[in-house]
Structure formats: C-alpha cells, structure tokens
C-alpha cells in the first residue's frame, strides 16, 4: 500500500544545502528513504507488531509519536483490540495529509479499532491511559534539553505494566567507536545505492535537525523518569531500539 518513489533528493550537487524538512518532497520518497538509510528498520517494525500483541490491552490508548506514514500505527492496528484508540501523531502537515490518504484507501483498516490522526507537536500531546507508546526514530528530532520532559510525560501517562518502544540514532563517547560506527553506517547506505555525494549532502542537511545522544544518556533518562526497566533489545551500528516498561 505504501508505494514510494526512489529517494534522489540529494543526488545532484546543490549550491546550498538547506535544513532537512519533512515536506512534500520528502513524503514522496519517505518509505524508500527510511528503508535504505536505517539499518534494521524492517526488524524494528516487526517487533513493534509483536509488542502490540503483548502490551496493548482492551480499552487502552496507544500513541505513535512522530508516526510519519504510519508504518508502526498500521502494524499495531492489526493487533489492537477493537475498543482501543491509536493516536497517530506527527507535526508535519505533509506526512499527515499523505497518511490520511493511505488509510482512506486501505481496505485492511475497516472493522478494527479507531486510529486518531493528530497533527500536533509531540511535546504538547497529553498521554493518558496508555498501554504502549512508540517513539520510533523521533525523539532524535526534539532538542536534547526538552527530551526529559517528553519521556517524563510518557512515563506518567503509561498504565502500570505499559511499555515504551524508543528507537534512536545514537553517538559514542569514544571517538574511535564513533568513527567506526559512522563508517559502517555509510557503507550500509552505499550498499543500498546512495552515492558519496548523496550521503554528504544529506548529512549537511540533517546535522542540526537530528541530534544523537549516547545510549547511556537515554537509559539514564528513562530510569530517572520512573521506568522500572529499560534495556536495548536491538542495535545495528549507530541505531538502537530500547524497550522500557513501567
Ligand atoms: C516510522 N516513526 O516510520 N512532533 C511531532 N512529530 C515530529 C516532531 C515533533 N516535535 N519532530 C519530528 N517529528 C516513523 C519514522 S521519522 C524518522 C519517524 C526519520 C516527526 C517528523 O515529522 C517525521 O515524520 C518523524 O517525526 C521522524 O516508524 O525520518 O529519521
């Protein structure tokens, strides 16, 4: 259902590389872009579907914060009981417009629980009665000094036993490890057909928008917020996914 054009946004030399935005141009190629850029993206999505089976209880709310084109939302939707509400939240008008079209044309969505599309900044969404919250590659776009508040509000809005799935691009305090993981990620992108020019121009565009932090900072923050458990269940190079439970 999620047909995507090939991502060629940075394939030609640009006189000036502007800051990366989730606009119509990105939305058009987004599924191709994320699949060719994030190692393990497909595996993370499969596990989100698996977690929905385990954590989403009848009568509860689920939040997919920074849902983009609803890849996680639609997998959770397959497993959620009928009386749940899935809040698919993104602040990009282009993403939400396209997601609305995709859902309207998806026969799979009928006869299932409500998906509530919310074009909002995740920093202002109130989280209540939540059994599962997904932050899949989204917290990295929130300024670091505001991340504690986001995580705290998620923890406070989760029901006891509820779960947060947090996936992020991370960085490393050891410069040698940082260099190696960065190189391996670039090799991954090259193997997926991106040229050195595309990789370099994308890096310039996203540099001040996506701020990675070390894994330990994420784990500390989750514990400080009150999560009983927080552990990485997946890592590939500089991408990690953490499961945190209340
Ligand atoms: C997936 N989770 O396919 N409030 C709401 N949305 C935001 C905010 C914010 N403050 N900042 C960024 N976004 C998805 C992939 S993509 C990851 C997530 C990537 C949104 C932004 O508009 C975009 O749609 C998404 O977060 C990040 O499972 O592109 O690397």
**What tokens were used for 218?**
């994420």
Mean pLDDT, rounded, for 9-26: 83
How far apart are the C-alpha atoms of 81 and 95, rounded to whole Å?
26
**DSSP labels for 134-182?**
EEES-GGGS-GGGHHHHHHHHHHHEEEEEEEEEEEEEE-SSHHHHHHHH
Given a cut of 60, whether residue 2 has pLDDT beyond it is no
Closest CA to 181 of 142, 204, 212, 208: 212
Q: Is the predicted pLDDT of residue 105 greater than 80, yes or no?
A: yes
CA gap 199, 216 in Å, rounded:
27
Start-to-end Cα distance in the chain: 34
| Residue percentage of the chain with pLDDT more than 90 | 83
Q: Is residue 114 included in any domain, yes or no?
A: yes
Q: Please, are residues 224 and 234 in contact by the beta-carbon 8 Å criterion?
A: no
Which of 24-28, 44-48, 182-186 is least confident?
A: 24-28
User: 61 in ligand 1 pocket by Cβ < 6 Å?
Assistant: no
Say yes or no: CB of residue 71 within 6 Å of ligand 1: yes
**Contact (CB, 8 A) for 195 and 188:** no
Kindly state the helix (H) or strand (E) to which residue 123 belongs, with its residue range: none
Beta carbon of 201 within 6 Å of any ligand 1 atom = no
For residue range 122-181, list pLDDT tens digits in order.
999 999 999 999 999 999 999 999 999 999 999 999 999 999 999 999 999 999 999 999
CATH number, domain with residue 129: 3.40.50.150
Q: Quote the mean pLDDT of the chain.
A: 94
> In the predicted model, is pLDDT for residue 223 greater than 90?
yes
The answer to whether residue 33 is domain-embedded is: no
Q: Which residue has the higher pLDDT, 209 or 218?
A: 218
Give the pLDDT band of residue 9 (cuts 50, 70, 90): confident
Number of domains in the chain: 1
Task: Please give the residue range of the domain that contains residue 104.
Answer: 41-171+210-245
* Domain presence at residue 176: no
The answer as to whether 16 is a domain residue is: no
pLDDT at 16: 82
Beta partners for residue 136, in sequence order? 167
Could you tell me if 63 and 89 are in contact, meaning their C-beta atoms sit under 8 angstroms apart? Answer: yes
- Residue 241 lies inside a defined structural domain of this protein: yes
Say yes or no to pLDDT of 57 above 50: yes
Its pTM stands at: 0.96
pLDDT band for 1, please (50, 70, 90 cuts): very low
**pLDDT at res. 135:** 98
Instruction: Report residue 199: phi and psi, to 5°.
Output: -65, -45
Residue 121 maps to a domain: yes
> Is it the case that residue 41 has pLDDT exceeding 90?
yes
Residue 142 lies in a domain: yes
The 3-state DSSP class for residue 11 equals: coil
Domain assignment present for residue 216? The answer is: yes
Question: Could you tell me if residue 11 is left (phi over 0), alpha (psi between -120 and 50 degrees) or otherwise beta?
Answer: alpha
Tokens at 234, concatenated:
């997946």
Ligand 1 proximity of 116 Cβ (cutoff 6 Å): no
- Give 96 Cα–ligand 1 centroid separation in angstroms: 11
Say yes or no: CB of residue 68 within 6 Å of ligand 1.
Answer: yes
- 223 and 164 in contact (C-beta within 8 Å)? no
Give the closest residue (by CA) to ligand 1 atom 13.
66
Q: How far is the CA of 47 from the centre of ligand 1 (A)?
A: 18
The CA distance from 75 to 233, in Å, is 19
């Amino acid at each position: 259902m999620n047909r995507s054009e090939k991502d060629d946004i940075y394939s030609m030399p640009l006189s000036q590389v502007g800051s990366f935005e989730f606009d119509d141009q990105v939305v058009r190629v987004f599924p191709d872009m994320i699949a060719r850029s994030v190692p393990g993206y497909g595996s993370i999505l499969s596990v989100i579907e698996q977690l929905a089976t385990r954590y989403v209880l009848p009568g509860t709310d689920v939040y997919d914060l920074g849902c983009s084109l609803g890849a996680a939302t639609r997998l959770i939707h397959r497993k959620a009981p009928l009386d749940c509400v899935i809040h698919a939240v993104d602040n990009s008008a282009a993403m939400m417009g396209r997601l609305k079209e995709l859902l309207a044309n998806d026969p799979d969505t009928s006869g299932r629980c409500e998906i509530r599309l919310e074009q909002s900044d995740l920093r202002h969404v109130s989280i209540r009665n939540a059994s599962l919250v997904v932050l899949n590659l989204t917290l990295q776009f929130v300024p670091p000094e505001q991340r504690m508040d986001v995580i705290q509000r998620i923890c406070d809005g989760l029901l006891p036993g509820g779960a947060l799935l947090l996936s992020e691009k991370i960085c490393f305090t050891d410069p040698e490890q940082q260099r190696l993981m960065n190189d391996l990620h670039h090799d991954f992108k090259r193997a997926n057909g991106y040229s050195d020019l595309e990789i370099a121009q994308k890096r310039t565009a996203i540099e001040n928008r996506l701020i990675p932090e070390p894994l330990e900072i994420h784990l500390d923050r989750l514990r400080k917020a009150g999560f009983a458990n927080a552990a990485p269940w997946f890592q590939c190079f500089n991408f990690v996914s953490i499961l945190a439970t209340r």
